[in-house]
Amino acid sequence: MTLLKEPDFGTPAQPGPATVSVEIDGMPVTVPEGTSVMRAAAQAGVDIPKLCATDSLDAFGSCRLCVVEIDGRRGTPASCTTPCSEGMSVRTQTPKVEKLRQGVMELYISDHPLDCLTCPANGDCELQDMAGVVGLRQVRYGYEGANHLDAEKDTSNPYFDFDPSKCIACSRCVRACGEVQGTFALTIEGRGFDSKVSPGAGESFMDSECVSCGACVQACPTSTLQERSVVELGMPTRSVVTTCAYCGVGCSFKAELRGDELVRMVPHKDGGANEGHSCVKGRFAFGYASHPDRQLKPMVRERITDPWREVDWDEAIGTVARRMRELQGAYGPGAIGAITSSRCTNEEVYVVQKMVRAAFGNNNVDTCARVCHSPTGYGLKQTFGESAGTQDFRSVAEADVIVVIGANPTDGHPVFASRMKKRLREGAQLIVVDPRRIDLVRSPHIEAAHHLQLRPSTNVAVVNAMAHVVVTEGLVDKDFVDRRCEGYDEWAEFVARPENSPEATEEITGVPAADLRAATRLYATARNGAIYYGLGVTEHSQGSTMVMGMANLAMACGNIGRDGVGINPLRGQNNVQGSCDMGSFPHELPGYRHVSDDAVRTVFEKLWGGTLLAEPGLRIPNMFDAAIDGTFRGLFVHGEDIAQSDPNLGHVTAALEAMDLVVVQDLFLNETAKFAHVFLPGASFLEKDGTFTNAERRINRVRAVMKPKTGKHEWQIVTEIATAMGHPMAYDHPSQIMDEIASVTPTFTGVSFELLDKLGSVQWPCNEEAPEGTPVMHVEEFVRGKGRFVVTSYVPTRERSTRRFPLVLTTGRILSQYNVGAQTRRTGNVAWHPEDLLELHPHDAEERGIGDGDLVTLSSRVGTTTLHAQISDRMPPGVVYTTFHHPVTGANVVTTENSDWATNCPEYKVTAVQVAHAPARTVVG
């Protein structure tokens, strides 16, 4: 494949029908009202020279290279800032404009290094291109006068350099930072000849508020902002469109290569989820795929105390199959199982759960989604009838009030956060419900109307109090409720009770009643109110209850079934939604259909050949308990590091040590691999062919940039294990696996690689009724028919502060790192977050004599770890916060086994702890 060059129309597209007819160099073109002359010309096939203009940014009109002549108008207006009007006749190539353009370009070149042949951007420089386009042959001005050629280069960022000697002060980087990213870290300092781009207040890029999303690098028309990888490896020569393997946003990228070496990842303008934007992880943190820590050969050992022995694939696969069969024979068919991964493709997850059900002969399959978003599936299924979010990401552009509950989008889902911030700058109002003062509460150009700083574990009490206000103050959308819902009367009677009032719940939640009432009125009276939530909702003992509570609130206010509204989970990993869709839970086959359904089971039995069990299998915590009890003996762990990510790590490691066979398939010898008997090397996303499904139900193609470094595809390894165990599974290509998925999964009926290659992506359901997918769910009616109101009683968590453990720990993520850090810790991202820190309120720190940067112990009733303190007032007194990206910290050593009542999702967000000075780093589980 050649290098994909996406067309640039100069200015953004305007909404609406094409109703304005103009003539560009004698060629007629009809465009929507408000379309710029530049864009109209591009649509007519006429490229007008430009430097400050690009269609991802609003028109600016500073470079003066795009001047044109318009019949009946004086002068030579800039085509980027001139809107088309009916009957307009434009001339883009007259002698007058050609002379003006050459003069403008001559001035640019007179203050620019003449090193094109050695410049890393040679062949990919718009200044170079435009000099040729305008026909510049000579520069009459020398370098004798003042210039910027000796300006000092900024090399502080680990991924790109800033060379101001090549800057033309077009402001594209500044505008991209503001308009696209929404960070406003860059500015133009000075005036006239002294104008220059400045990060922050004259700081370096690394010291400024820059979040390294790459928007400025992508917008730069010269090599002023240049990726180091391009400088080191040279300009790429071909590209492959694929999907990021980090968070649940699911950004599309052009992987650009030089030969077989990946040079850079460039966000794809046609990506449905990101539309040309990116974050520091997806844009730059891909180096882990070629990191020397990667294990590329299979390994086996008899005992976990033995050294590893490298073997070939046949021996490794044969060992897994043989030992799994032996455990089945000795302890029964239910003695083995598997855990699927939300980092793997739909096709890989599908074959793992198929292997468990058809070859292992049980339903002992679970997924890492169990420990993050399983309450989403349960709660939305109960209320709406479908286990997924309701909107596409674009929908936020129509929201008037946005409620963010238990999520930190700027860190966890930054590309979506940029969309949200843009809408907030346009006038939408924001309500943040979070114990911690996240950046969205107040940051450049945005500020939340309300921050409901609740106590950890009291989400349900807050949402019930909000519902109380809606019902008792007459804010219910009665027409919507009467037409489309059931169970309202019982629910309304429940939430209207005095004990659910903001005044009554204030003592529980810590949220002032007046603030809660004002926030609720804002949401309930908005034309469009949207709720976005994250793990701060689901990772609680009442996670499922809270999801249903939010669904109740949205239905009561009529905020379902159109753009700008909905209940929208922000999924943590790239394929959390897909791993659930594929049947990774022990009680559900693909498509969320229960294993006890005889008709559904018959479909799979006929396709797979064999009898499937009608009883649900073991969940992850049940597997661990059974392993310690001696009844569960063998586990296949596909792409998950459960010995770092799961709660109460002491219990997890005890279970792993008790098993006779632990098989780990991953990129690196992770914490779980310390307890493994067989290690199967995995493939990075750059080596995969398949699909991911993001948080908005968007199915995106993942295309292989290179062949698997291990010599085998992950889906291929799984099918060979199943075959060796006596259940033949054979596919020639992952497209065949998707075809099988589509044949048995109603929401995927119309999905195929061919369709995805044609459309770019689709959002399920994709079937005969919706052949190109479903951006917004529940439009005319809910999937279950009528939306169901569910009574959501608040039940306090069992995890309580005590004299011994007086503080409450809650956890989260940080922008530069991802999940357990296995990938991002092996990239330049460690420059921003070299270790996990414990955020401690000044009052709590003073009580304990702890200073900023002190080494402290963090202890709970199940374990102790050590980390450095960071004094911060982001949390209220009594609450501490940390991330879990570094295994040396082992944050989950202290989290408990408390879990959601319906799904066993762990209560990571509420752990009673004590903090004290530490003599040295310790991790005790």
Alpha helices in 781-905 (DSSP H): 842-848
Mean pLDDT of the chain: 93
The secondary structure of residue 178, as a DSSP letter, is I
Q: Is 634 exposed, middle or buried (0-12, 13-18, 19+ CB in 10 A)?
A: buried
Cα–Cα distance, 69 to 46 (Å, whole number):
14
Q: What pairs with residue 589 in β-bridges?
A: 593
Place 910 in a pLDDT band, splitting at 50, 70 and 90: very high
Residues composing the chain: 925
N-term to C-term CA, the chain: 51
* Angle between helix 598-608 and helix 734-744 axes, rounded to 10 deg: 150
SS3 state of residue 711? coil
Give the pLDDT confidence of 169-209 residue by residue, as tens digits. Answer: 999 999 999 999 999 999 999 888 788 899 988 899 999 99
Cα–Cα distance, 133 to 916 (Å, whole number):
67
The secondary structure of residue 176, as a DSSP letter, is I
- Mean pLDDT, residues 424-445: 96
- For residue 392, pLDDT beyond 90: yes
Give the pLDDT confidence of 65-76 residue by residue, as tens digits. Answer: 999 999 999 999
Those residues with Cβ within 8 angstroms of residue 792's Cβ, 6 or more apart along the chain or in another chain: 460, 463, 464, 545, 546, 548, 549, 552
Q: Give, in order, the Cα–Cα distances in Å from 470 to each of 236, 478, 778.
A: 57, 11, 22
Helix (H) or strand (E) holding 702: strand 698-702
Q: What is the pLDDT of residue 841?
A: 97
- Of the listed ranges 136-150, 161-175, 452-466, the least confidently predicted one is 136-150
Those residues with Cβ within 8 angstroms of residue 161's Cβ, 6 or more apart along the chain or in another chain: 153, 154, 155, 225, 226, 228, 231
- For residue 900, pLDDT beyond 90: no
Q: What is the pLDDT of residue 143?
A: 64
Q: What is the pLDDT of residue 341?
A: 92
Backbone angles phi, psi at 914, to 5 degrees: -130, 150
Q: What is the pLDDT of residue 151?
A: 82
Q: How many CB atoms lie within 10 A of CB 329?
A: 10
* Angle between helix 543-556 and helix 459-472 axes, rounded to 10 deg: 20
Give the pLDDT confidence of 495-546 residue by residue, as tens digits. Answer: 999 999 999 999 999 999 999 999 999 999 999 999 999 999 998 899 999 9
DSSP readout, 724-773?
HTT-----SSHHHHHHHHHHH-GGGTT--HHHHHHHSEEES--SSS-TT-
The secondary structure of residue 906, as a DSSP letter, is B
Place 924 in a pLDDT band, splitting at 50, 70 and 90: low
CB-CB contact of 440 with 404 (8 Å): yes
pTM of the model: 0.94
- Mean pLDDT, residues 783-788: 96
Written as one letter, the residue type at 498 is: P
Cα–Cα distance, 856 to 147 (Å, whole number):
53
The secondary structure of residue 355, as a DSSP letter, is I
Place 385 in a pLDDT band, splitting at 50, 70 and 90: very high
Those residues with Cβ within 8 angstroms of residue 263's Cβ, 6 or more apart along the chain or in another chain: 227, 229, 230, 233, 234, 235, 236, 256, 257
SS3 state of residue 892? helix
Place 895 in a pLDDT band, splitting at 50, 70 and 90: confident
Give the pLDDT confidence of 823-853 residue by residue, as tens digits. Answer: 999 999 999 999 999 999 999 999 999 999 9
- For residue 925, pLDDT beyond 60: no
Q: Give, in order, the Cα–Cα distances in Å from 240 to each of 75, 111, 129, 163, 260.
A: 45, 36, 24, 29, 11
- For residue 38, pLDDT beyond 70: yes
CB-CB contact of 349 with 578 (8 Å): yes
Structure tokens belonging to residue 76:
């030579």
Beta-sheet strands, E only, within 107-245: 160-162, 186-189, 196-199, 225-227, 238-243
Q: Give, in order, the Cα–Cα distances in Å from 357 to each of 172, 268, 338, 396, 583.
A: 54, 38, 10, 40, 10
Beta-sheet pairing, 238-243 with 923-924: unpaired
Cα–Cα distance, 462 to 460 (Å, whole number):
5
Alpha helices in 406-456 (DSSP H): 409-412, 414-425
Question: Which residue has tokens 């096939």?
Answer: 45
CB-CB contact of 580 with 381 (8 Å): no
Cα–Cα distance, 40 to 66 (Å, whole number):
13
Give the pLDDT confidence of 272-281 residue by residue, as tens digits. Answer: 999 999 999 9
Helix (H) or strand (E) holding 513: helix 513-524
Place 647 in a pLDDT band, splitting at 50, 70 and 90: confident
Q: What is the pLDDT of residue 202?
A: 83
User: CA Rg, the chain, in Å?
Assistant: 29
Q: What is the pLDDT of residue 782?
A: 96
- For residue 370, pLDDT beyond 90: no
Structure tokens belonging to residue 305:
């105390």
- For residue 722, pLDDT beyond 60: yes
Q: C-alpha angle with apex 609: 607 to 611, nearest 5 degrees?
A: 110
Beta-sheet strands, E only, within 399-554: 401-405, 429-433, 442-443, 446-447, 450-452, 485-486, 529-533
CB-CB contact of 856 with 316 (8 Å): no
SS3 state of residue 283? helix
- For residue 140, pLDDT beyond 80: no
Place 1 in a pLDDT band, splitting at 50, 70 and 90: low
Place 920 in a pLDDT band, splitting at 50, 70 and 90: low
Cα–Cα distance, 458 to 464 (Å, whole number):
10
Structure tokens belonging to residue 772:
């190109």
Cα–Cα distance, 895 to 908 (Å, whole number):
6
Q: C-alpha angle with apex 236: 169 to 253, nearest 5 degrees?
A: 80
Q: Give, in order, the Cα–Cα distances in Å from 168 to each of 78, 163, 187.
A: 18, 11, 14
Beta-sheet pairing, 761-763 with 698-702: antiparallel
The more confident residue out of 620 and 887 is 620
Helix (H) or strand (E) holding 383: helix 374-383
Q: What is the pLDDT of residue 921?
A: 58
The more confident residue out of 145 and 645 is 645
- For residue 37, pLDDT beyond 90: yes
Q: What pairs with residue 914 in β-bridges?
A: 859
Give the pLDDT confidence of 679-707 residue by residue, as tens digits. Answer: 999 999 999 999 999 999 999 999 999 99
- Give the long-range contacts of residues 299-306, CB within 8 A, separation 24 or more: 299/678, 299/679, 300/677, 300/678, 300/679, 301/677, 302/677, 303/677, 304/657, 304/662, 304/674, 304/675, 304/676, 304/677
User: b/e per residue, 518-533, with b = 16+ CB within 10 A?
Assistant: bbbebbbebebbbbbb
* Angle between helix 459-472 and helix 502-509 axes, rounded to 10 deg: 170
User: b/e per residue, 271-285, with b = 16+ CB within 10 A?
Assistant: bbbbbbbbbbbbbbb
Q: What is the pLDDT of residue 190?
A: 87
- For residue 492, pLDDT beyond 90: yes
